[in-house]
Amino acid sequence: MDTNTNCNVNKDQTKSWDKIINSLKDFFGKDIVRYIVKRILMFIPTIFLVSFLVFFVIQLPPGDYVSSEVAKLAGEGEYLSEKEANDLRAEYGIDKPFIVQYGMWIRDIIWTPTDSQYYRINHSHHNWKYSFEQKKNVWTVIEERLGITILISSIIMIFQYAVSIPIAVYSATHQYSAGDYIASIVGFLGAAIPNFVLAFVLMYLSYKWTGNAQVGLETKEGVIGFLKSLVIPIIVIGTSGTCGIIRSVRAQMLDEIGRQYTLTARAKGVKESTIIMKYCFRAAINPTVSGLGGILSSLFSGSTVTAMVLGLQIQGPQLLAALQAQDMYLAGSIVMVQAILVVIGILLSDIVLAFLDPRIRYSGGSR
Amino acid sequence: MDKDNILEVKDLRVNIHMMEGELTAVRGVNFEIKKGETLGLVGESGCGKSLTCKAILAINDKKCEAKGSIKFNSDESGEVEILDLNPKGEEIRSIRGKQISMIFQEPMVAFSPMYTIGNQINECTRLHITKDKKKSKEISMAVMKKVGIANVEKRYNQYPHEFSGGMLQRALIAMALVCNPKMLIADEPTTALDVTIQAQILELMKSLQKDFNTAILFITHDLGVVAKMCDRVAVMYLGKIVESADTETIYANPQHPYTKGLIGSVHKIGGNREDRLFSIEGTVPLAMNLPVQCGFYDRCTVAIDGLCNKAEPELVEIEPGHKVACFACNHEGCKAECERARKEIAEREERERKEAELAAQEAALGKNKKKLFGRRA
């Protein structure tokens, strides 16, 4: 009796295990899951490749920080012996060959061992080396502005999409109408006027009307104050990208409206608005979604001049300053962080694309 | 409107607005289709076949403008003048897909790649028959089975790129038939398919027509397909119907030189191998600023100079059910048409001569005036 029930339990258990395994199989057998897993796995080598390139580039300038420091000290009348300089190099770890330095850099980012001197200084297991210029750990420098940069970039991106896509759809469905022409003209103006000029104009207007030129971001007066200070940056940085999105979505929509399947849907008796949204729009949005990574990177690096004019405390100006001061670890790390964000953006856009377009799921998943 | 007719097209004209000017692609087409009948519309590329059938559903491009009359008669909606309806309105949408549906010529691009085949067929039933999701899925699946798609359960959830061309054409037919339409417009439904699949699809359409008693407007340039499918044939050339008759008559006794040419250019089993296949010389002229003459004049071998290049023949009934528009065929009706045309030409030339005289007189007057003014100055 006893053994019998035991047996049954065992059977049930194996059954439930089979069930779990089968459902897992089903889940991972799905093309979309396979596609996403594959994309995430591809993400890792991409990041390593990017980091290698970044490290290679920051090593390129002649000399190193120690030699520039020695020269600086010499200027102040202090002389370091060759041995002392070499000791310093050994301490910073920049006396080793390039590939070893790269390995140490990556190792320190992923997991700094307890006996490393960076761990002794920062008491952290993740170290991005040292900003020589600011005499701080690189990550502390980046951290100050990373959050706000990501926040502003995403708000601007959402603004761009939210403004340009409805305009583009309207333009395409009302081709050659007055509204279409106005949208085109405004879009082209937005693209043609240099960002910083627009920034000056808006700051001037803001000063005229409110008595406040709105320089920099307001972080002390709560959410509303912060949003208020965001208005000008969003308009200035946002409008430049808007034109491109309008043009590409409009062209794509027109293309899709002329497709045979639009006619088929119409011949079925489908409502015009359903045709536009269900058939045309979903297909037309495809290239825009895949361009998301590019838009992100242009937001990070393309808005530097505007950010300086507007006094925004984001990463662009920080990177520029680091490059000017030859603070190579800081510059490299900023580029690295931005590259990782862009790659994440591309990953996200790929996943969205897979949901939008079944053909991508299939070609990326099963083969 | 005749009670037996499901569709009557009268003097249909379709103009296309282009940068270079107005192109009249369909120039006064008349035909009618009886309930359950198959009418073949034959002609080479660019003669206005597709535009005609798109006009019936009012799904022509914005640049196209249809004039004339297209009357559709069904038990459900009564007699409807399609050209009077708003092409985006609810009334025409309840006819499209439900009462008149259309099979397009390229199945590979007729489905949206973004949605499953099932979703796209289902859309039709949900619009016209039932809002109930389960029921409409059942109906769609039943029709898919009927058109010969195996393994429907799996196929229903597949995307167009997982289908072969022949299977897609079947799915397209399923989509057209899912609401049991009274009339089916088939715009070269087999052109994109290979011959064996073509034969299967045609068989399928025939048997489905029997089941549902659907009238079919069959558009093609393949005379072999016409012989297999159609009860009556209308031959179109340069936006006009040049000959119409029942299928047997067309093959046995073609009257218009264009029809003769078309039939002559079909290769025959048992023919001499050394013979070259007959072909009609030249191409269809562009239907823009056409001169007053028979559209086929430039390519015709039996054209009568002074008649065919000066007037355009109208369709005349030469025997019951057989109409032809040609001056050069030897029938009583045609001779009368010739007389009419000759009279017309004479009148026109007389008028033109008078106008020319008047113009000359005016010109002379103008010269005199100039002389007068010249003297004054």
Residue in A269, A279, A359 closest to B94 by CB: A269
- Judged by CB atoms closer than 8 Å, whether chains meet at A282 and B57 is answered as no
Which among B59, B123, B175 has the least Cβ separation from residue A263?
B59
The encoded tokens of residue A89 equal 């190099």
Smallest CA–CA distance from A266 into chain B, residue = B59
Taking any CB pair shorter than 8 Å as contact, residues of chain B touching chain A are 54, 57, 59, 88, 93-98, 101-102, 104, 106, 109-116, 123-124, 127-128, 159, 161, 172, 175
Residues in chain B: 377
Q: How far is CA A184 from the centre of its chain?
A: 28
Nearest to A269 among B54, B127, B172 (CB): B127
List of long-range contacts for B367-371, beta carbons under 8 Å, 24+ apart: none
Residues of B in contact with A272 (CB under 8 A): 88
Regarding beta strands B183-187 and B215-220, do their DSSP bridges make them parallel or antiparallel, or are they unpaired?
parallel
Q: How far apart are CA A15 and CA A12, in angstroms?
A: 5
From the number of C-beta atoms within 10 Å of its C-beta (0-12, 13-18, 19+), residue A25 rates as exposed
Q: What is the pLDDT of residue A320?
A: 86
A1 pLDDT band (50/70/90 cuts)? Answer: very low
Do the chains contact at B113 and A359, CB–CB below 8 Å? yes
Q: Give the residue on B whose Cα is nearest the Cα of A264.
A: B110
Please count the residue pairs, one from chain A and one from chain B, whose beta carbons lie less than 8 angstroms apart.
75
Higher pLDDT residue, A167 or B298?
A167
Q: Which of A293-307, B32-46, B300-314 has the highest mean pLDDT?
A: B32-46
Give the distance from residue B110's alpha carbon to the nearest chain A alpha carbon, in angstroms.
4
Interval B297-343: pLDDT, tens = 888 888 888 888 888 888 888 888 899 998 888 788 788 888 888 88
**What is the Cα A102 distance to its own chain's centre?**
23
Q: Can you tell me the distance from the alpha carbon of A314 to that of A195, in angstroms, rounded to the nearest whole number?
A: 16
Whether the CB-CB separation of A261 and B111 falls below 8 Å is answered with yes
Tell me the CATH architecture of domain A143-356: Orthogonal Bundle (1.10)
Average confidence score pLDDT of chain A = 82
The torsion angles phi and psi of A245, rounded to 5 degrees, stand at -65, -45
Structure confidence at residue A366 (pLDDT) = 40
> Closest residue of A to B179, CA-based?
A268
Of residues A248 and A81, which shows the higher confidence score? Answer: A248
Q: How far is CA A207 from the centre of its chain?
A: 33
Sheet holding B21-34: strands in order across? Answer: B21-34, B5-18, B64-74, B78-81
| Shortest CA gap B205–chain A (Å) | 18
Q: What is the pLDDT of residue B375?
A: 57
Name the minimum distance, in Å, from the CA of B333 to any CA of chain A: 40
In this complex, do B113 and A357 lie within 8 Å of one another by their Cβ atoms? yes
Nearest CA to CA, how far is A145 from chain B (Å)? 41
**Residue of chain A whose alpha carbon sits nearest to that of B128:** A269
Confidence check: pLDDT of A166 > 90? yes
Summarize pLDDT for B151-178 with one digit per residue, the tens: 999 999 999 999 998 899 889 989 998 9
Residue of chain B with shortest Cα separation from A269: B93
Using CA coordinates, name the residue in chain B closest to A257.
B61
- Residue range A182-231, pLDDT digits in tens: 988 888 888 888 888 888 898 888 888 887 777 777 777 778 888 888 88
Residues in chain A with CB shorter than 8 Å from the CB of B112 are: 261, 264-265, 279, 283
pLDDT band at B71 (very low <50, low <70, confident <90, very high): very high
Of B161 and A85, the one with more pLDDT: B161
CB contact under 8 A, B106 and A283: no
- Weakest-pLDDT range from A91-105, A138-152, A181-195, B332-346: A91-105
Taking each helix axis from N to C end, the angle separating B117-128 and B165-177, rounded to the nearest 10 degrees, works out to 10
Q: What's the 3-state SS for A236-275?
A: HHHHHHHHHHHHHHHHHHHHHHCCHHHHHHHHHCCCHHHH
Q: In Å, how far is A266's CA from the nearest CA of chain B? A: 7
Residue A135: per-residue pLDDT: 76
Domain boundaries, chain A: 143-356
Q: Diameter of chain A by CA atoms?
A: 95
Across the interface, do A264 and B106 touch by the CB < 8 Å criterion?
A: no
> Of the spans A228-232, B152-156, B209-213, B366-370, which averages the highest pLDDT?
B152-156
Within a 10 A sphere around the Cβ of A34, how many other Cβ atoms? 18
Nearest by CB to residue B96, choosing from A268, A356, A362, is A268
Interface test with A, best of B114, B115, B127, B179 (most A CBs within 10 A): B114
Percent of chain A scored above 70 by pLDDT? 91
Q: Is the pLDDT of residue B376 over 60?
A: no
CA neighbor of A217 nearest in space, from A234, A195, A196: A234
Task: Please give the Cα distance from B261 to B259 (Å, whole number).
Answer: 5
Neighbours of B19 (CB within 10 A): 4
Q: Which of A170-184, A310-324, B170-184, B241-255 has the lowest mean pLDDT?
A: A310-324
Name the residue among A266, A279, A362 with its Cβ closest to that of B59: A266
Which two tokens mark B205?
């359409």
Nearest to B123 among A260, A268, A357 (CB): A268
Identify the residue among A264, A271, A276 best suited for mutation to test binding to B, counting B beta carbons within 10 A and taking the highest. A264
**Which structure tokens are listed for A95?**
């006396």
**Which one-letter amino acid corresponds to residue B220?**
T
* Of the candidates B221, B218, B231, the residue with the CA atom closest to the CA atom of residue B185: B218
Burial A321-351 (b: 16+ CB within 10 A, else e): ebbeebbbbbbbbbbbbbbebbbebbbebbb
Mutation choice for A interface testing from B96, B112, B129 by most A CBs within 10 A: B112
Q: Which residues of B touch A265 (CB under 8 A)?
A: 112, 123
Q: A268 and B97: CB-CB below 8 Å?
A: yes
pLDDT at A367: 34
Across the interface, whether the CB atoms of A264 and B104 are under 8 A apart is answered yes
The answer to whether A100 touches A89, Cβ cutoff 8 Å, is: no
Residue spans of alpha helices (H) in chain B: 49-57, 90-95, 107-110, 117-128, 133-146, 152-156, 165-177, 195-212, 223-229, 247-252, 257-264, 332-376
Tokens of B364: 């002379």
Cα A154 to Cα A135, A286, A329, A336: the distances in Å are 31, 19, 26, 19
A267 → closest Cβ in B102, B111, B159: B102
Nearest Cα residue in chain A from B53:
A267
The contact set of A with B (CB < 8 A) is: 259-261, 263-272, 278-279, 282-283, 356-359, 362
| Cβ within 8 Å, pair B88-A272 | yes
pLDDT in tens, B95-147: 999 999 999 888 889 999 999 999 999 999 999 988 899 999 999 999 899 88
CA distance B99 to chain A (A): 10
Q: Residue B230 carries which side chain, given as an amino acid letter?
A: C
Please name which of A89, A33, A30 lies closest in space to residue A65, comparing C-alpha atoms.
A89
Encoded tokens for A45: 């080598």
Contact (CB, 8 A) for A354 and A36? yes
DSSP symbol at B276? P
Backbone phi, psi, residue B185, to 5°: -105, 115
CA atoms within 13 A on the CB side of A157: 20
For B105, which residue in chain A has the nearest alpha carbon?
A: A260
Identity at B99, one-letter amino acid code = Q
pLDDT of the residue at A29: 64
Residue B100's φ and ψ, nearest 5 degrees, are: -120, 125
Q: How far is B21 from chain A (nearest CA, A)?
A: 18
User: Which of A71-85, A304-318, B311-325, B332-346 comes out lowest in average pLDDT?
Assistant: A71-85
Looking at per-residue pLDDT, the higher value among A63 and A366 belongs to A63
**B285 has a pLDDT exceeding 90:** no
Residue A365's pLDDT is 40
User: Which 8-state DSSP code applies to residue B6?
Assistant: E
**What's phi and psi for A176, nearest 5 deg?**
65, 15
Identify the residue among A180, A254, A261 best suited for mutation to test binding to B, counting B beta carbons within 10 A and taking the highest: A261
pLDDT at residue A6 tops 70: no
pLDDT at A4 over 60: no
Structure tokens belonging to residue A126 = 């993740």
State the nearest Cα–Cα gap between B101 and chain A, in angstroms. 7
| Cα dihedral A159→A161→A163→A169 (10° resolution) | -170
| pLDDT-based confidence at residue A7 (cuts at 50, 70, 90) | low
Q: How many angstroms separate the CA of residue B116 from the nearest CA in chain A? A: 9
Q: What is the DSSP letter of B96?
A: B
Residue A364: the pLDDT is 46
Total Cβ atoms within 10 A of residue B57: 24
Residues of A in contact with B95 (CB under 8 A): 269
Span A238-270, pLDDT tens digits: 887 888 889 889 999 999 998 999 999 999 999
Say if strands B100-103 and B183-187 run parallel, antiparallel, or are unpaired. parallel
- Give the DSSP letter of residue B267: -
Q: Are B327 and B337 in contact (CB under 8 A)?
A: yes
Burial class (CB in 10 A: 0-12, 13-18, 19+), A106: middle
Written as one letter, the residue type at B359 is A
Q: Do B111 and A264 touch (CB under 8 A)?
A: yes
The structure tokens 């087409």 sit at B29
